[in-house]
A and B are shown apart, each in its own frame.
Chain A
Amino acid sequence: MVRFRTFGPVLIVAGLVACAANDTDDAGGAAPEPDVLADLRADSNRDGTISFDDDSDTHKTTWDADNGAVFLANIDDDDERCKASGDDITIAKCNDAQDEVVNGEDDALDLARLKSRPWPKTPDDVTGHLAILTDAAADKIRIFKKVGESAADFEVLAEDNVFTAEEIRAGFELGIEAKDVVRDAAEWDGYVELQLTVTSPTKGTSTDVVLMRVAPILTFHHLLPAEQIWVSNTMTPGNAAMRKDLTTSCKAAGVGSPKTIDVVDPWTQDYFEPAYMSMPGPDGTQHVMRVNYRSANVFEPNKEKSPLRPAGQFVFKVRGRDVAGVQQFDIDHNPDMDTLNSFGNFETVPPYTKDGVSYPFGRVVRGKTKSYYPDKTFSKLIAAQGQQPEIDVDTSWLLVAHIDETISFVKAPTPRGWALLVNDAPMAKKMLEDAVKAGKGDTPMFVGKTWIDFENNTERPAEISISEVLADTEVMKASAEAAAEIDGQLEVLKEELGLEDDEIIHVPFLHIDYAGKSAAYQPGLVNGVYLSDTRFGAPDPHGPVIDGKDIFKTAFSEPLAKIGITVDYIEDWDEYHLGIGEVHCGTNSTRAIPEERWWKSGR
């Protein structure tokens, strides 16, 4: 996005001379230095420093891919004073921007800086004033003034603060933070214009303006290296089985053992979404604050103070130094659509370029239609970040309605650099039909699995033959519908992403109908966790074994092996598959911060 300042001239001459320090006169010679000068600078060229020695930070009223200063929403908890428990409303309020104090050196690092040019000629009768020209930002930001030598010596800048002639002569330093992230671009789009006015009753007035923008929150796409895998520890045998296989897979992938979260909610993917925001740091670095979104799932609408999905409080339990938690929800959102607020229904398409338009951080993809949609206030928050324009597909036909039930992404040695994994029910049906033709119709699948166990020692095995599956009206009906619906999803994705057929890997599994909607009948192989460039953890399909091989494992492993990815099969039947989810639903991943800088995206 290109943004220009929205008001009049930089320089206002009040009777006497006032001009910028490097102006020249009409004859081309050096203009006399003004007595009164306002020259406020931020890190507009994004090199991590504020320079007065050259022009590098003088493009300060434009915000585009090349210039424009950045600041952070200072919502982490650097000195870890916030409590990790409490009601949903209170717990979310605590962060470093909650008070008017710079809470130590780490907190000071989260402040973007502004400096005024030291101006020794400043007359004694000069006073200075800083104004926030962007009305919408006035109560969204806070400005501090540096008042001492140590890193954290800042005091909040009062609205009526007057800079003295002495301060203006010496030059002063400010720190700026946003008190919150941008939640609704219609209320505040994250930009702020700050104006320094320096006035002398005898020598005139000089003004200067700097345009700044608060850093957006960006979510991670699958291609970024996983740094930490998360999994709920629900203390059940089924959960333990999944964690055991997941641990093995993580080790093979070179990722550390998954960290467990002690909650009863097994759907680790759903209750939080890792993300980050950043601003330029010194020497080409970026100063990063990790952010975890809490899902907008409202589980207890009648509980005024704690209506949200309890496990989501995790984002505030891990809040700390350079780690923030963000929640946004509408208590009145239609509860029938609440499932769409889970982050299994929030994936990030990897980076790509189409028709000359680049998406270096990818795009958010969610299940959302005109009549079936996630929390609108959260959608506004996502849209307001402006970097990963959302793609919406129809997931309303699915019982759980999450996008991770039908698609995923992996690296691939192609010009695009990645491939789309997509569920293909007709492929699954054909595999089974081919087996029947080969005389293998009696081959069982789901061997050793049970649909349900109950207390009178009677077992209801899930084991079923290929022929029986093909004769199941409910499975066939739901699978045909899934084929058409997923084709509709694919049509949108092809259009938006420019995907060609050879960039799509088809993943076979069938569906079943429940309550008029669809769910994976077989463990949904696409619903796995991408652990490293060469490792994908998928649910064990427990498919029919023919000639010593599970034909569904083969059908999934072989195309991935061709692009250098080994699939580990993870046991998830009892805790996850029967609960209408799989491995991806039951895990989450914190990934590496990308090297790309969002401020260069042009958005």
Chain B
Amino acid sequence: MNKRRLAFGLSLGLAVLGGAAAPAEAAAAPMSPAAFRMPAKSFAELSAEIAKARAIDPRAFVAVNGIVSHAPEADARARGRKAPVALYLAKLGPSALMPMLEMLAVDAPRGIPAESAPGLRRDLIEAVGLLKDARALPVLYAILEDTTEDAATVRTVTEAIARVGTDEAAARVLGALDASRDEERTRSILAGMGECRRLRVAEALAARLRSTGDEATARAAARSLGRAGNAWAWKTVGDRREEAKIRETAARALVDAYVRRDGEARYAASNALMVVDAPETPAIVAEAKKGASPEVAKALDKLAQRFARNPTRAR
């Protein structure tokens, strides 16, 4: 069946097969390929992989290009003006990896309006991460380690690397965190780190949550810890050896944040605790109550009550 349309009913009458129809206001090269920041060996290996993939499945490149070229239209029609293009790209499956890496590292899509290019680039990064293929890491590292990248891109690329989740990936994310001297960049890395279900990453998040004096950073770290320890997500993961320790680590740091913070950061900590759903939580809360001020003790009682009827468990 040929439905001849994209999602959101975009007419393919506007499309050019295999290439983007260039809007009038198209920028020349709005997306900055990561190639020049990659090690030469990695780039050579990537180029060879791309060539091989094109020879095996040229239609995958057409398919990725088809979605990418229509992304600005899809964004314009989406609620909130950002279509989940990354999800559509990821749905193409593993064959989409090399076409997307080519766009990120070698040859940026052409004909994309300048205002759409950053969002589309993030879509490509996110989609690459969702494929969880370590071959993407050199490209993603090059983007992460470019300190001129904007905050949203830093978060997205951190998530992508974190999703791949290898030892090296975890180390590079932590390295980027340690190297960051910019509060917004740090916050973005913290926000993306939670996709990495590795104990050393969870411990780093917990440490930052304890040490930061910035509420927005605390909020980001709390939510990210919730992701790292997300009980529902863990049930889908093959290797669960670190699960118990990560969830407990998250729970301890989140209870501590709940006690020491207020407002949105406390609220984020409470929600993350529900998501982590660590069995140690009641004991950690009880421990925190010892010596707590009446006000904090009352808040902890409320937290304990909420946890007892944890909303992430079915009624």
Binding site for B on A (CB under 8 A): 234, 236-239, 264-267, 270, 299, 338-339, 342, 344, 369-371, 394, 399-402, 424, 426-427, 429-430, 450-460, 470-474, 476-477, 479-481, 483-488, 506, 512, 514-516, 519, 574-575, 578-581, 585
In the complex, which of the residues B15, B91, B230, B315 contacts A481, with contact meaning CB atoms closer than 8 Å? B230
Q: Which residues of B contact A579 (CB under 8 A)?
A: 7-8, 74, 77-79, 83
Known: A239-B9, A574-B7. 14 other contacts (CB 8 A): A236-B10, A237-B5, A264-B77, A338-B81, A454-B66, A470-B236, A471-B236, A479-B232, A481-B271, A483-B311, A512-B87, A514-B87, A515-B122, A579-B77
**Does the CB pair B216–A481 fall under 8 Å?**
no
**Does the CB pair B91–A459 fall under 8 Å?**
no
Q: Which residues of A contact B216 (CB under 8 A)?
A: 371
**Does the CB pair A578–B8 fall under 8 Å?**
yes
Q: Mark B230-241, 1 if CB is under 8 A from A, else 0.
A: 111101110000
Can you list 16 A-B contacts with CB-CB less than 8 angstroms, sorted by A residue number? A234-B77, A342-B79, A426-B314, A453-B5, A453-B7, A456-B62, A456-B66, A483-B275, A484-B274, A486-B311, A515-B126, A515-B156, A516-B155, A574-B8, A580-B78, A581-B79
Bound-complex Cα distance A579 to B267 (A): 29
Q: How far is the CB of A18 from chain B (nearest CB, A)?
A: 60
In the complex, which of the residues B6, B191, B264 contacts A369, with contact meaning CB atoms closer than 8 Å? B264
With an 8 A cutoff between CB atoms, is B109 at the interface?
Answer: no
Bound-complex Cα distance A342 to B2 (A): 35
Bound-complex Cα distance A342 to B82 (A): 14
With an 8 A cutoff between CB atoms, is B263 at the interface?
Answer: yes
With an 8 A cutoff between CB atoms, is B55 at the interface?
Answer: no
With an 8 A cutoff between CB atoms, is B99 at the interface?
Answer: no
Known: A485-B271, A578-B8. Contact between A516 and B79, CB under 8 A?
no
Q: Which residues of B contact A480 (CB under 8 A)?
A: 230-233, 275, 312
In the complex, which of the residues A265, A339, A451 contacts B7, with contact meaning CB atoms closer than 8 Å? A451
**Does the CB pair A399–B82 fall under 8 Å?**
yes
Interface of B: prevailing SS: helix
Using a CB-CB cutoff of 8 Å, which residues 206-265 of chain B contact chain A?
216, 219, 226-227, 230-233, 235-237, 263-264
Bound-complex Cα distance A402 to B79 (A): 10
**Does the CB pair B274–A487 fall under 8 Å?**
yes
Query: For A369, A452, A477, which residue has the most chain B Cβ atoms within 10 angstroms?
Result: A452
Bound-complex Cα distance A509 to B124 (A): 27
**Does the CB pair A472–B126 fall under 8 Å?**
no
Q: How far is the CB of A457 from chain B (nearest CB, A)?
A: 5
Q: How far is the CB of B72 from chain A (nearest CB, A)?
A: 14
Q: Which residues of A contact B43 (CB under 8 A)?
A: none
In the complex, which of the residues A238, A427, A430, A585 contacts B9, with contact meaning CB atoms closer than 8 Å? A238
With both beta carbons as reference points, the residue of chain A lying nearest to B66 in the complex is identified as: A454
**Interface size, chain B (Cβ < 8 Å):** 66
Q: Which residues of A contact B82 (CB under 8 A)?
A: 399, 515
Q: Mark B51-75, 1 if CB is under 8 A from A, else 0.
A: 0000000010011001100000010
Q: Which residues of A contact B111 (CB under 8 A)?
A: none
Bound-complex Cα distance A514 to B304 (A): 31
With both beta carbons as reference points, the residue of chain A lying nearest to B155 in the complex is identified as: A516
Q: Which residues of A contact B294 (CB under 8 A)?
A: none
Q: Mark B298-315, 1 if CB is under 8 A from A, else 0.
A: 000000001000011111
Q: Which residues of B contact A585 (CB under 8 A)?
A: 79
With an 8 A cutoff between CB atoms, is B86 at the interface?
Answer: yes
Q: Which residues of B contact A264 (CB under 8 A)?
A: 77
In the complex, which of the residues A370, A430, A474 contacts B314, with contact meaning CB atoms closer than 8 Å? A430
Q: Which residues of B contact A479 (CB under 8 A)?
A: 232
**Does the CB pair B275–A481 fall under 8 Å?**
yes
Q: Which residues of B contact A512 (CB under 8 A)?
A: 87
Q: Which residues of A contact B270 (CB under 8 A)?
A: 488
Q: How far is the CB of B33 from chain A (nearest CB, A)?
A: 22
**Does the CB pair A460–B79 fall under 8 Å?**
no
Q: Which residues of A contact B138 (CB under 8 A)?
A: none
**Does the CB pair A516–B191 fall under 8 Å?**
yes
Q: Which residues of B contact A459 (CB under 8 A)?
A: 1, 3
With an 8 A cutoff between CB atoms, is B92 at the interface?
Answer: yes
Q: How far is the CB of B307 from chain A (nearest CB, A)?
A: 11
Q: Which residues of B contact A399 (CB under 8 A)?
A: 80, 82, 84
The 5 A-B residue pairs with the shortest CB-CB distance, nearest first, are A236-B9, A487-B311, A480-B232, A430-B314, A477-B233
Q: Which residues of A contact B91 (CB under 8 A)?
A: 451-452, 460
Bound-complex Cα distance A299 to B270 (A): 35
**Does the CB pair B80–A488 fall under 8 Å?**
no
Q: How far is the CB of A513 from chain B (nearest CB, A)?
A: 9
Q: Which residues of A contact B156 (CB under 8 A)?
A: 515-516
Bound-complex Cα distance A481 to B270 (A): 11
Q: Which residues of B contact A574 (CB under 8 A)?
A: 5, 7-9
With an 8 A cutoff between CB atoms, is B283 at the interface?
Answer: no
Q: Which residues of B contact A454 (CB under 8 A)?
A: 6, 12, 63, 66-67
In the complex, which of the residues B8, B130, B236, B267 contacts A575, with contact meaning CB atoms closer than 8 Å? B8
Bound-complex Cα distance A480 to B231 (A): 8
Q: How far is the CB of B267 from chain A (nearest CB, A)?
A: 7
**Does the CB pair A481–B237 fall under 8 Å?**
no
Bound-complex Cα distance A484 to B226 (A): 11
With an 8 A cutoff between CB atoms, is B159 at the interface?
Answer: yes
**Does the CB pair B77–A455 fall under 8 Å?**
no
Known: A476-B236, A575-B9. Contact between A514 and B86, CB under 8 A?
yes
Q: Which residues of A contact B66 (CB under 8 A)?
A: 454-456
**Does the CB pair A270–B79 fall under 8 Å?**
yes
Q: Mark B134-162, 1 if CB is under 8 A from A, else 0.
A: 00000000000000000000011001000
Q: Which residues of B contact A427 (CB under 8 A)?
A: 314-315
**Does the CB pair B79–A484 fall under 8 Å?**
no
Query: For B74, B231, B232, B312, which residue has the most chain A Cβ atoms within 10 angstroms?
Result: B232
Q: Which residues of A contact B219 (CB under 8 A)?
A: 371
Q: How far is the CB of A577 from chain B (nearest CB, A)?
A: 9
Q: How far is the CB of A336 from chain B (nearest CB, A)?
A: 9
Known: A236-B9, A399-B82, A579-B79. Contact between A456 and B59, CB under 8 A?
yes
With both beta carbons as reference points, the residue of chain A lying nearest to B230 in the complex is identified as: A477
**Does the CB pair B88–A516 fall under 8 Å?**
no
With both beta carbons as reference points, the residue of chain A lying nearest to B235 in the complex is identified as: A476
In the complex, which of the residues B84, B86, B232 contacts A580, with contact meaning CB atoms closer than 8 Å? B84
Bound-complex Cα distance A480 to B63 (A): 33
Query: For A344, A424, A485, which residue has the most chain B Cβ atoms within 10 angstroms?
Result: A485
**Does the CB pair B226–A481 fall under 8 Å?**
yes
Q: How far is the CB of A310 from chain B (nearest CB, A)?
A: 11
Query: For A236, A342, A506, which residue has the most chain B Cβ atoms within 10 angstroms?
Result: A236
**Does the CB pair B7–A401 fall under 8 Å?**
no
Q: How far is the CB of A350 from chain B (nearest CB, A)?
A: 24
**Does the CB pair B231–A401 fall under 8 Å?**
no
Known: A238-B8, A456-B62. Contact between A426 and B313, CB under 8 A?
yes
**Does the CB pair B8–A473 fall under 8 Å?**
no
In the complex, which of the residues A267, A426, A458 contacts B311, with contact meaning CB atoms closer than 8 Å? A426
With both beta carbons as reference points, the residue of chain A lying nearest to B70 in the complex is identified as: A454
**Does the CB pair B84–A514 fall under 8 Å?**
yes
Q: How far is the CB of A337 from chain B (nearest CB, A)?
A: 11
Q: How far is the CB of B66 from chain A (nearest CB, A)?
A: 4
Q: Which residues of A contact B59 (CB under 8 A)?
A: 456, 458
Q: How far is the CB of A430 from chain B (nearest CB, A)?
A: 4
Q: Which residues of B contact A429 (CB under 8 A)?
A: 232, 314
With an 8 A cutoff between CB atoms, is B4 at the interface?
Answer: yes
In the complex, which of the residues A455, A488, A519 contacts B4, with contact meaning CB atoms closer than 8 Å? A455
**Does the CB pair A483–B86 fall under 8 Å?**
no
Q: How far is the CB of B295 from chain A (nearest CB, A)?
A: 18
With both beta carbons as reference points, the residue of chain B lying nearest to A235 in the complex is identified as: B9
Q: How far is the CB of B116 from chain A (nearest CB, A)?
A: 13
Q: Which residues of A contact B159 (CB under 8 A)?
A: 516
